[in-house]
Structure formats: C-alpha cells, structure tokens
Amino acid sequence: MPRAIRSLIASGIAGIVLAGSAITPAVAAPLAAAKSDRTSAVEARRVDRVPTPKLRWYKCYGYAQCATVRLPRNYDKPKGATTEIALLRVKARDQKHKIGSLFINPGGPGGSGTGIALAAPYFLSDSLLDRFDIVGVDPRGVANSENIKCFRSVRDQTKASAGLNVAFPWTKAEEKAYVASSKAVGKACSTTGKPLTGAASTAEVARDMDVLRRAVGDKKLTYLGFSYGTALGQYYANMFPDRVRALVVDGVLNPNAWVGKGKARKQLQETRLRSADGAYKALREILTRCAKVGAEQCPLASTGNPIAAYDTVAKRLRKKPAVINDPDFGQFKISYADFVDASLGALYSPYGWLIISDMTRWLLEATDPAAPAPVRAQAGAALAKRAAKARQQRAYDFPYDNGYETFLTVDCTDAYHPKSASSWPKLVAAADKRAPYFGREWAWVSAPCARNTWTVRDKNAYTGPFNRRTSAPVLVVGNFWDPATNYKGAVSSAALLPNSRLLSSDSWGHTAYGTSDCVTGAIDRYLLKVKLPAKGTVCTGDDQPFVYGPDWPEDPDNPESPDVRATMSKSALAQQGEPRRGEPKRLPPVVTPLPLTGTLTVR
C-alpha cells in the first residue's frame, strides 16, 4: 500500500497555546508605499475571461458550508474540459463587521484545504473567526476535488509501490526495490494519471484560487498558508501581485529552491531546500540541551553524552534491526529507518524532544546485550506500547489512497529533478553525509520525479520570477528549529520579495502559528489590519525542551495531553461540533510532503 502523507500529529504529542514573548516588540510598522507590479497580460487573460462561478453553498458537517465548482482544466482553453474543485467555508461569527474571506492551505502538496478550514475554529484566534469567512479549497486532484489516480486499481497501485513501503531504503536490496517502484509510479502517473497529472501544478491551483477569490466576492486575496502552502502563497503573490490584500506564509519553502534554477536543476530538490539540515540542527540542539539539564530533567543524560547515545543506537540498528517481544502482538523489528523516521516525526511537535530522549534511551537499553534482563525487558515493553499505537494507525488497505500521487504530481511538474531514478542512491548518500540521519529520508521521497520516468508536464507551470512587488506586504514567518522547512528558506524568501517582512520565532515543531501569543498575535494583527510587526521581531515559543509546565502529562501519547492537535477527520469534527468562543486553541493541522511508515511512527 502506498505511503500516506504525514500530518503534523505524526509524533502523537502536542500542546495548548500559552503565553509568548518577543525579543523585539511586535508593534505595527508599515513598509514604505510603492507601486506594485501588475499581473501579466497572459495571466490576466487566463483567469479573467473565466466567468465568475456561482457557488451553491449547502450546509455540511454541522457548522460549515460546502460547494463544488467546475473550473477549466487548461486555462488557455476556458471553454474546454473542466475539473471539479471542492470548497468549504466556516462563516464569520460577526457578519456585520466581516472583512472578507481568509483562504487557508495546510501544505502537502496534497493536504486538504476543506479539512483545515473545518478545523479552523480549533486553532485560529477568535478575532479571525469573528471577522473572516474561513475558506478552504481542495487543490486539483486532492481529497474532495476530482481525484488524481495513477493506477486503475488498488491492486495495481500496491504492487507497483511495494518498494516504497519503508521510511527510506538502507540496504542495497531496499534501494534496488525503491528505485524500481519509483520508476513504476512515475511511469504510471505519466500515463494512466493523465490528463489531470499534467494540469495540477501549483500555478494551476493559484489560478483556481484567483477565480474563487472573485467567486466569494473579494476584490483582493487574504491568505494564510502553512508549509507547502507557503509555496502556493508565493506563487499567487508573484503571478497576481496587484491582487493581494494580506498574505502570510508560515514554515516557508523558498520557491527558487523548490523549482530549481540554472545548474541547480540537476541537483536533488532536498539539496536545494536543505530540510534535512534543519532537522539535524534541531536534533543536535535537543540532545545538547539534554546534556545540560542533566538526568533529573532528561533521563537520557544518565547514559553519558546524549549525542553519542543517539549515534550508538543508530550504529547498532544499521547493523541489524532490534527485535522486540510484544506480549500482545508477538515479535516485531525496529530498523534504523524506523528510528530516524520516528525521530523526524517527533520533531514536528513542540514536545518532540520528550519522545526523542525517551525513545533513544529505550533503544539504547533494549539493544545492549550487557544490560540487565529486567532493564531490557522494561525498555522493550515501552517500545512495544508505542509500536502498537503506530500499527493501529497504519492498518489500512482500502480504499484507494492517492496521497503520495498528489504530492508527486505537484512536485514533479513544478520542479526540476535529476534525470534517472538510478542516480538517487549516490545522491542521497551525499545528502546524508551533509545532514546525518535525515538526508536520506528527505532526499528519497522525490525519486519518482526523475525526468526520464516522470514524463508528463504541465506546459503552463510557473517557474518564476519570484521577486515581484505586491500590492500589500507579505508576512514571512520562519521557525528557528523547523525540521521540514528550514528557517533559511524564510530568510531567503523574505529577501526575494521586495514588499515583505520577516517574522522569526525561536520555537519548536513545524511552523510557528499557535506556539506563542507573540507570533500568533503578530499574524492575527497583520491579517486583520494589514499592519506588520516591527522589523527584526523575534518571538519565543512557550514550550522549550526539558522545561516542564505545572500540568505536564506523564504520558505524551495520552489523548488528554495538552498537545492534541486539530487533525480529526471531518466526520469526527462534525460530531464534536464547533468549539465555543474562548476555548483553548490547538495547533494547526499542517501537512508535510514526507510520508512516515516506520514501526514507531504514529501519524
């Protein structure tokens, strides 16, 4: 079965929003006024000649409204074939004082916009919920929109994808199988997946969003995008620079690095984005802080140097997987890839340091033949408990899951990639040398995009420029310790956009909204009033490694843990109902492109 796209809850841990602080006060500071760039004649003609769709909203999921609309599959042929697009909105609580619509996107590519919109009352501030209709759009090929389908059946998909069912390949045999499956998936999406795989690039979604902006009655776009949603936001800003009211990108992908320019076209996309570098930096910092606070706050420190302990576990698992005896499920194995995969999943949460320190200690004890039998047994039991939860989460075979295919459709058509999937083993080894542990996992995910197997193209894909001056400033938000969207991506993206402001956050996990009152308040004020935080503002996340609050849970996997996120299914959200005003907020259900399949990973 193909690997599913991971949501932010991957590590199974999380936190309620408390108070934050800023190194520089977040006071309103406008940028100097200057005339914006104009939407090109080509792009204006493409979208403006499409009649404004009439959205026939109907009540859905208890507190929301849904609609579907058909838009041109090819904007150069507005009267030709169409594709169905799904929308969901949660109406502003104060309709009399409504500003307009706030479009939101959770990332991916492949994340459901309708899903994050339905979850919005759980994580967006009440001030935004009062003044905006929250609108989510399922991009082309995704979720409730017309689906991309690269295989004729689940059976065909399962057979072709068999080699991809590891977090990343480690042995030569696994690499061979992974390359073979990458070629099979790339060829299937380039043939059976057409025509939609050739008409679902980020540029097409940006065009859809501009037409739908008009359909909801907004003269200009107000937008909040997370993770890959930052790429979509930057595409819109550069394709339609004079149609921006307010635009926030949080957890930023540099669009030039995403696409690949000049000589970089032949590089792995990960070599350009450096996601693995961000993950390794965060891991090292956690282990370093563990050593500083000592065994009382971080039990892993009792084993000696935590960095050395992590490396010891990695070396042992590279030689052979750990065999754990589970009294309920029998024997199971934990591979090196499982260990790295679970570590990366944990880093997506502000509380991931707890999982990393505990998991490393358990595996250090469970794989040590010199450790006393009771110690090994206790460590094995803790690992078994976590693995059981992961297996329950991964128990699926039907229906057809196109999550990985939607990610690839966008990535492979947007960006340049090396020519042959057979070159990936050598290239990912170099990435892993540069960014230990995580280089392989981040680099392997794009293997089906090799140019000689992924041959379908979107002739109307957008490749830049990404330095247009927008009609309103763009707020670019970067998190120092983000394991997926390297903070440097936010810095370089802000430097690209002449009318932008960088807001930095010393916080943990993937993206920054909700991690402190400082960063959340700055984003909220900007969206409401288009007033920027002061230049150089740096917020500090409420939750820092090995700093325990008064209500700290002993079991971070407990459903009552303070870090439960708004990642429930639409049906579960509907059953729970819209939260009351003033209820504690959760963290946004951000979606990442990297699938997690490891034994210890809970999605």
Torsion of CA 283, 446, 510, 580, to 10 degrees: -150
Backbone angles phi, psi at 101, to 5 degrees: -110, 140
| Distance (Å, whole) CA 580 – CA 250 | 26
Residue 211: pLDDT over 80: yes
pLDDT band at 566 (very low <50, low <70, confident <90, very high): confident
Mean pLDDT, residues 7-12 taken together = 29
pLDDT at 15: 27
Query: Do 363 and 383 contact (CB within 8 A), yes or no?
Result: yes
Query: Do 193 and 150 contact (CB within 8 A), yes or no?
Result: yes
| Distance (Å, whole) CA 90 – CA 145 | 18
pLDDT band at 598 (very low <50, low <70, confident <90, very high): low
pLDDT band at 599 (very low <50, low <70, confident <90, very high): low
| Distance (Å, whole) CA 124 – CA 585 | 7
Query: Do 585 and 127 contact (CB within 8 A), yes or no?
Result: no
* Per-residue pLDDT reduced to its tens digit, 377-407: 899 888 888 777 666 555 456 789 999 999 9
pLDDT at 429: 97
Q: In 3-state terms, what secondary structure has residue 481?
A: strand
Residue 9: pLDDT over 50: no
Angle at 420 between CA 415 and CA 421, to 5 degrees: 90
Mean pLDDT, residues 542-567 taken together = 67
* Per-residue pLDDT reduced to its tens digit, 483-492: 999 999 999 9
Q: Could you tell me the CA-to-CA distances from 109 to 6, 139, 436 in Å, in that order? A: 11, 9, 25
The DSSP H or E segment spanning 127 is: helix 126-131
Residue 107: pLDDT over 70: yes
| Distance (Å, whole) CA 86 – CA 201 | 17
- Rounded to 10 deg, the angle between the 403-414 and 172-191 helix axes is 80
- Rounded to 10 deg, the angle between the 352-366 and 275-293 helix axes is 80
Closest CA relative to residue 368, chosen from 319, 314, 313: 313
pLDDT at 332: 86
Q: How deeply is 244 buried, as exposed, middle or buried, from its count of CB atoms within 10 A (0-12, 13-18, 19+)?
A: buried
Mean pLDDT, residues 594-601 taken together = 57
Domain 8-147+205-259+464-576 adopts which CATH fold?
Rossmann fold (3.40.50)
Count the Cβ atoms, other than its own, within 10 Å of residue 530. Answer: 18
pLDDT at 591: 84
Closest CA relative to residue 344, chosen from 482, 191, 527: 482
Residue 27: pLDDT over 90: no
Chain center to CA of 404: 13
Q: For the chain, what is the largest distance between any 2 Cα atoms, rounded to a whole number of angstroms?
A: 74
pLDDT at 393: 54
pLDDT at 24: 41
Torsion of CA 248, 253, 259, 260, to 10 degrees: 140
pLDDT at 21: 43
Question: Taking the domains of the chain in order of start, what are their residue ranges?
Answer: 8-147+205-259+464-576, 293-393
Residues 6+ apart with CB under 8 A from 496: 254, 255, 256, 466, 467
* Per-residue pLDDT reduced to its tens digit, 234-264: 999 999 999 999 999 999 999 999 999 899 9
- One-letter amino acid of 2: P
Mean pLDDT, residues 309-336 taken together = 91
Please state, for a pLDDT cut of 90, what percent of the chain lies above it.
82
Count the Cβ atoms, other than its own, within 10 Å of residue 398. Answer: 7
Which residue reads 């045999």 in tokens?
A: 173
